[in-house]
Structure 1
């Protein structure tokens, strides 16, 4: 029997990360990717420090060739290490998604026939393709930016605290304020994404069924009905898309407002400090460079967490399929059936939550004997053969 899906069960973050953790790639890939990410960050953090020294002591007669070489070398190391890190993180993401798809396909192939009776083919295809694409975008595209970004932010904030803790607090205060607004929007994005993925699966299932039965549609003169159903499905998808666009439309200006506000405050406050002589020009420039090393990753974090919510909604359906009970497969047994007869004794059957189709059926089919089953449509002829093929259990 197919395990029934409990749609009321809460899909937690623990289950989401457990799914990702179950398909992690080799540890050496993770270690090398993190090491190259750290190297990228360190190289990037060195540049503002040397820039500060270069500006504060700037003079054409005092230009230090070794300092310029170090800055150029830092740029080169950062570019090479970043490229290598991004490739490894993308490889890791692609490998994880491929593993999930293989597991999902293996599970789908071995699900019992009743599952296919209760699930549209297009819906299953949507889980296999559309939902895993969302997961691929999260792991392969957004995760690398998040990992490198978080390392960059931690490094930059640490240096800034040592450079000038007062100016650093201005940046840090804006983070929790932004999070208070972004967090509830992220929860809404999860609900919208969950509904969007369900609607996409239903729509895929509907059009797949309609196209596969095109002759029946035309024979029944049902083109107008199917046109109406298709239009309704498209409009529902459009509605979810608009709701998602509204959240993005709020997030983008919000983040821009916070970023520009922080930049203006830092420039204004730093300018006053430079004028009063408590801060050097080089330090202010270095501070702004570090500020951009914080701002750029933080803005990408919003995209990452939005995609994370969408991926959680998508993987909920994937997890439901993976938790289904597979058929109790047995190894094939070679057996000589010549001269054997088929016996059916007191066999009864009813589909899940349905009326009894077969009630205490008895018959014997002897070798070489032709047995015919006659009866009206829906009388159970096909069901009886499905039982003989062990698609269902009586």
Structure 2
């Protein structure tokens, strides 16, 4: 526990860090606090009504006084009910609104983070923070926090009323308060540590389940269902064990608080009963005192219970703030430069060297220099791991090189606005990426303001219109997660339609036709040929037959450019290209020349 104490002291301070989100709604907050104070004051006033009912009604045998007192108490109860309605509505609204703002802020931050962050952190855990942790905060802000404030106000007010009613008995109650607070503070530290661990283990469970569900075909094809069930059971068991420890600590804290609080009340009633019998105080005063003492006991017990929830909330806030504190390694510069209109070269890579963060000792690109003219079609070929896809990621600024620079229209792309840079390009990846929505939305993702007619035209240009029209709701057909309801070739054509609609200046094609059958490939290749007219195109190709007619073929190996030229030249002068060609063309070197 030596290292948990400073964490515990800082734990509840994490709750203060959501103040910027709460302070946006100061009017609602003030009204909610007023309603809270109002209902607490009425609750305290009920104690005086009980005293009057006993002393002036029951003991005085006055029906009129009893009726007046009970009528007064009914008015108080009605006012308390109205105040409770206002308090509950405003506080709950505030909780929902603040959590929605936090969730939006976290998501807005996430979509701008550098891609390598998501390679180093599991998507399931990030999603858990965005959903589970924010849901926990909603229950805390919307109910528990209000209940805790109400309990604190009630306890303070009840203690004041106790002192006014009988100072001697109040000393007994005050002596018990520190005894009650000790377990709250001591055990609360352990609860917070366990609360953070519990949230982490729940995130692990979600991440594991999400990965298995996403890869369900692989799991079933290898008949690994039983193994995964056992492995998931281990994850669930670990989460349950941590939750069980947290629940046990909270249970110990609550039972200890109740024992001490009501033990003090029993002692107080015993002392007060003797004073009533001795004529030192009235029965009404004792009844009112017991009422206030019970309020103190329940208030302290409520605070102890809510403290556990607040400790969990502190853990959730800590996890969310960790996400918000992550700074993207890829950002637009403070001073943005404009691109020149008529450069000599459209794209230039000058001595670019790049290592992935996960592999800092191995070059993905090494002193790579490449000049690409505007409107030129350049094919990138080479063995796997040569750096072709990495080159695309550098151009899109998913990563920045450690050395060298990339120029677009004679301007370093690190000096350009990030969104403007990426809007200049359209990527058609080897593995098509679709969203869990309809066809229209997926194609329009390339240009959200496009009309329906423009979407249809893009689909026709990608030779996707025919099969889309055959879907149950045509362009409004839901495609499922990552387009699971389409074949590989159909998904690729939808992605190509998205790129066509985007109408970029630079096309990045990563084996864009690899998932198509021969007929579809022929049709889409015609569409791509038309699309590539008068725009710069880079094509990653593993099948050399698809790029023989490119303006230039660049041969890459181990992150370097080892040769470039046209097909016939490379067959004659590049041993690596010749070997690749011999492996792919069945009739030997003479035929490929």
TM over 0.5: yes
Deviates more, 1:252-261 or 1:122-131: 252-261
Out of 180, 187, 190, which is 2:189 matched to?
Answer: 187
Distance 1:352 1:144 in 2: 46
Match of 1:385 in 2: 392
Out of 113, 116, 126, which is 1:114 matched to?
Answer: 116
Deviates more, 1:275-284 or 1:196-205: 196-205
SS across alignment from 1:362: strand
Match of 2:53 in 1: 54
Determine whether 1:345 maps to 2:350.
yes
- Considering only CA atoms, is the larger Rg found in Structure 1 or Structure 2? 2
**Structure 2: where are the runs of 5+ without partners?**
1-5, 402-593
Quickly say closer, same or farther: Cα 1:275–1:10, change in 2 above 3 A: closer
Quickly say closer, same or farther: Cα 1:147–1:206, change in 2 above 3 A: same
Match of 1:301 in 2: 303
Are the aligned partners of 1:156 and 1:293 in contact in 2 as well (CA < 8 Å)? yes
Deviates more, 1:19-28 or 1:357-366: 357-366
Match of 2:84 in 1: 82
Out of 11, 21, 24, which is 1:23 matched to?
Answer: 21
Quickly say closer, same or farther: Cα 1:202–1:329, change in 2 above 3 A: farther
Distance 2:322 2:138 in 1: 19
**RMSD across aligned C-alpha pairs, in angstroms?**
2.5
Quickly say closer, same or farther: Cα 1:235–1:54, change in 2 above 3 A: closer
Match of 2:206 in 1: 204
Are the aligned partners of 2:180 and 2:257 in contact in 1 as well (CA < 8 Å)? yes
Distance 2:340 2:211 in 1: 39
Are the aligned partners of 2:44 and 2:157 in contact in 1 as well (CA < 8 Å)? yes
* CA shift for structure 1 position 53: 2.3
* CA shift for structure 1 position 247: 0.8
Are the aligned partners of 2:364 and 2:386 in contact in 1 as well (CA < 8 Å)? yes
Distance 1:77 1:26 in 2: 25
In terms of fraction of residues, the more strand-rich structure is: 2
Distance 1:197 1:71 in 2: 45
Distance 2:224 2:338 in 1: 48
Deviates more, 1:212-221 or 1:41-50: 212-221
Deviates more, 1:209-218 or 1:31-40: 209-218
TM-score, normalised relative to structure 1: 0.90
* CA shift for structure 1 position 281: 0.8
Deviates more, 1:332-341 or 1:34-43: 332-341
Determine whether 1:328 maps to 2:326.
no
Distance 1:125 1:158 in 2: 47
Quickly say closer, same or farther: Cα 1:337–1:287, change in 2 above 3 A: farther
Quickly say closer, same or farther: Cα 1:181–1:148, change in 2 above 3 A: closer
* CA shift for structure 1 position 167: 0.6
Deviates more, 1:275-284 or 1:229-238: 229-238
Are the aligned partners of 1:55 and 1:281 in contact in 2 as well (CA < 8 Å)? yes
Q: How many residues are matched?
A: 385
SS across alignment from 2:76: helix
User: 1:1-394 to 2 correspondence within 5 Å?
Assistant: 12-13=10-11, 16-24=14-22, 25-58=24-57, 59-64=60-65, 65-220=67-222, 222-326=224-328, 327-329=330-332, 341-354=346-359, 355-366=362-373, 367-376=375-384, 378-394=385-401
Quickly say closer, same or farther: Cα 1:140–1:217, change in 2 above 3 A: same
SS across alignment from 1:26: helix
Q: Deviations over 1:171-221 (max 9, x none)?
A: 111111122122121111111111111222222222212221223334455
Distance 2:200 2:143 in 1: 23
* CA shift for structure 1 position 343: 2.9
Distance 1:269 1:203 in 2: 54
Distance 2:154 2:390 in 1: 63
Quickly say closer, same or farther: Cα 1:341–1:216, change in 2 above 3 A: farther
Are the aligned partners of 1:145 and 1:297 in contact in 2 as well (CA < 8 Å)? no
* CA shift for structure 1 position 222: 4.4
In terms of fraction of residues, the more helix-rich structure is: 1
Are the aligned partners of 1:365 and 1:371 in contact in 2 as well (CA < 8 Å)? no
Deviates more, 1:157-166 or 1:49-58: 49-58
* CA shift for structure 1 position 86: 2.1
Deviates more, 1:245-254 or 1:142-151: 245-254
* CA shift for structure 1 position 162: 1.1
Distance 2:136 2:15 in 1: 15
Are the aligned partners of 1:342 and 1:365 in contact in 2 as well (CA < 8 Å)? yes
Are the aligned partners of 1:127 and 1:317 in contact in 2 as well (CA < 8 Å)? yes
* CA shift for structure 1 position 73: 0.9
Quickly say closer, same or farther: Cα 1:368–1:221, change in 2 above 3 A: farther
Match of 1:3 in 2: none
Quickly say closer, same or farther: Cα 1:210–1:169, change in 2 above 3 A: same
* CA shift for structure 1 position 249: 2.8
SS across alignment from 1:325: coil
Deviates more, 1:159-168 or 1:284-293: 284-293
SS across alignment from 1:303: helix
